[in-house]
Amino acid sequence: MERIEDKPEVYLAAAAKMLDAEDMLEAAGILRSSKVTVQETGFDNWDGGTRIWTIYLAIDPSEYAQLGVKREALQEQIKNRLEPIVEQFTNDWFQITITPSTHIDPDWREQAGEIPASVRRKIFDGLKLDEVKWYGRLDDVDFLGRIFDLESLPSGDNRFETSSGDIWQHRINNFDWEDDWIYSDSRFNLVGGPTNTFLRFLCEIVHPIVRPDRNEALKLVSEFNDQLRREGWQLTEEEKIAGRPRFVAQTIKDSSARLVSRARSVADALNASWMQKEIERLENAVETDPALAIGTAKELVESCCKSILSRRGVPVPKGTDLPKLTKMVTAELRLVPEGISDEAKGAATIKLILRNLSALSQYLAELRGLYGSGHGRDGKHKGLEPRHARLAVGAAVAFIDFVTSTYRKQSDSD
């Protein structure tokens, strides 16, 4: 007889496949992402003796915290699928315990919401590689004077009393400092100093006064946000100055981040590169451009429908609108498992729910014309807000998540 610790990966791989087949995707995901440890935690002397094992599934502490009361149910789901696998090889008993991992993050001492030095360096490295002049059309003294009190900071040159003097001498008069001198100057401490100072520096780099080329500023904001989002921050447009956006730093709403993350998983499952582009637009627009996010949510549903129909060999006539696309998808997919009671009634109900979800993003997209930035609005007029965008994106993600899971389940069983 084997012992459970002999080949746990073999048992867990089979259990993960069973969980996938039953659409218990969260439990299957825990099996795949966890670090597995097997320990003998007991012994029962009855009937010759039986070893008792604990299979520890260590996951990221933040993910563990978010499980809450679901943890016990997930442990039970995994255990119930493992039992018929393990009992083929051993009479040992076992239990499943999901635990927080103790992997040490080198930046763990950073406070929540702080941007680690490693991320700041990546942003500065990107600016160096692209040879971006951080000071834009200003000189160094004028740029830094928008953020710092240069007269209160010391000079590194004994000929001058304050930092404004030596910066002028070495960057304007003699020009004998490299363009990227600011990133390593301890007086400004952009790598190791306060997060709000670092973020203010980035916002000034793309300020219309510093960088009046709108396209250039938007490109930099997109590159900054690629790094900042991982730490829960992003630069968002607050207002326009002479038609050009002025950005401020804001924390990202967790709900938006989770929705976009789920949408990415769906796109990966369908291997749909064009959906990834729409998801990137969503990620950038939910909080900053609700009207764009709502329209993109509609396009995301369309792309998902067309991708599934294409994979099933179903031709889509040119000009087919969203309501017809969703009807085609729901007609093509078997929406409830076969052989259960009231199968037809269940399928009809699910079709109705899906049509309502897809219609929601369609209706909200139509509202853009009513609430957009048209002419003749009074000064108190406000357009669609991020909460409207989150509603549309939530509906779109719920739709594509369900139909993609249905498609994958059927493809695996065919």
Quote the distance between the C-alpha of residue 250 and its chain's center: 16
Mean pLDDT by 10 residues, the chain (414 residues): 72 89 85 87 73 88 78 90 87 89 64 80 94 96 95 91 94 92 94 92 96 91 86 82 86 59 60 63 70 80 86 89 82 64 66 70 61 44 69 80 79 66
Instruction: Please say whether the beta carbons of 301 and 270 come within 8 A.
Output: no
How far apart are alpha carbons 64 and 399 in whole angstroms? 27
pLDDT at 373: 41
> If DSSP codes are grouped into helix, strand and coil, which group holds residue 244?
strand
Strand pairing report for 50-59 and 93-100: parallel
> If DSSP codes are grouped into helix, strand and coil, which group holds residue 346?
helix
pLDDT at 381: 42
> If DSSP codes are grouped into helix, strand and coil, which group holds residue 392?
helix
How far apart are alpha carbons 260 and 283 in whole angstroms? 6
Q: Is the dihedral of CA 285, 289, 293, 296 positive or negative?
A: negative
pTM score of the predicted model: 0.46
pLDDT at 124: 96
pLDDT at 372: 45
How far apart are alpha carbons 38 and 29 in whole angstroms? 19
Q: How does DSSP classify residue 209?
A: T
pLDDT at 133: 96
> If DSSP codes are grouped into helix, strand and coil, which group holds residue 88?
coil
Q: In which region does residue 103 sit, left (phi positive, over 0), alpha (psi from -120 to 50) or beta (all else)?
A: beta
How far apart are alpha carbons 114 and 116 in whole angstroms? 6
- Hey, what long-range contacts does 34-41 have (CB within 8 A, 24 or more apart)? 34/58, 34/59, 34/98, 35/101, 36/8, 36/9, 36/12, 38/4, 38/5, 38/8, 39/5, 40/5, 41/95
CB-based contacts of 206, cutoff 8 Å, min separation 6: 217, 220, 221, 224, 235, 247
How far apart are alpha carbons 346 and 344 in whole angstroms? 5
Phi, psi of 114 (to 5 degrees): -80, 150
Q: What is the DSSP string of 27-83?
A: HHHHHHHSEEEEEEEEEE-GGG-EEEEEEEEEE-HHHHHHHTTHHHHHHHHHHHHHH
Instruction: Please say whether the beta carbons of 83 and 67 come within 8 A.
Output: no
CB-based contacts of 143, cutoff 8 Å, min separation 6: 134, 135, 136, 204, 210
The closest of 331, 342, 352, 355 to 406, measured between CA atoms, is: 331
Q: What is the DSSP string of 151-190?
A: GGSBPSSTT-SBHHHHHHIIIIIS--S-GGGGGG-TTT-T
The residue count for the chain? 414
